Amino acid sequence: MGKAVLHVHSTYSDGLATVDEILAELEHNSDVDVVGFTDHDDVRAFFHVLEWKKRHPNTRIQPLWGIELTIAPVKHLLAYIFRPPFPIAPFRRFQPLPEAVQAIKAAGGFAIVPHVDAFWIGLGSHRVARLARQVGLDGVELLTPVLKAERSIRRVAALNGDGRLLEIGGSDAHHLPDLYKVIVDFPGHSVADLEQAFLNRTAVPRWGDPGPGVPLTRQVRQHTRALVVLPCLHLGRWARTRLSSQWSVASG
What is the mean pLDDT of each successive set of 10 residues along the chain, which is 252 residues long?
97 95 96 98 97 96 98 95 97 96 97 93 90 92 88 83 85 95 98 97 94 85 80 70 60 58
Looking at the fold, whether 81 and 44 belong to one and the same domain comes out as: yes
Alpha carbons 206 and 212: distance in angstroms, whole number: 18
Looking at the fold, whether 103 and 208 belong to one and the same domain comes out as: yes
Looking at the fold, whether 90 and 65 belong to one and the same domain comes out as: yes
Looking at the fold, whether 138 and 65 belong to one and the same domain comes out as: yes
Would you state the pLDDT for residue 194? 98
Residues of the domain holding 219: 215-252
Looking at the fold, whether 73 and 159 belong to one and the same domain comes out as: yes
Residue 102 CB partners (closer than 8 Å, separation 6+): 136
The neighbour count for residue 218, using CB atoms within 10 Å, is: 13
Looking at the fold, whether 206 and 88 belong to one and the same domain comes out as: yes
**Residue spans of alpha helices (H) in 95-229:** 97-106, 125-135, 150-159, 191-200, 216-224
Looking at the fold, whether 193 and 82 belong to one and the same domain comes out as: yes
Would you state the pLDDT for residue 120? 85
Q: What is the maximum span of the chain, computed from C-alpha positions, in angstroms? A: 60
The number of helices, as runs of H, and strands, as runs of E, in the chain is: 8, 9
Alpha carbons 184 and 171: distance in angstroms, whole number: 10
Would you state the pLDDT for residue 19? 98
Looking at the fold, whether 155 and 219 belong to one and the same domain comes out as: no
Q: In total, how many domains does the chain have?
A: 2
Looking at the fold, whether 129 and 228 belong to one and the same domain comes out as: no
H-helix or E-strand spanning residue 142: strand 139-143
Would you state the pLDDT for residue 101? 97
Looking at the fold, whether 81 and 190 belong to one and the same domain comes out as: yes
The CATH number of residue 82's host domain is 3.20.20.140
- Give pTM, 2 decimals: 0.92
Looking at the fold, whether 176 and 81 belong to one and the same domain comes out as: yes
Would you state the pLDDT for residue 170? 97
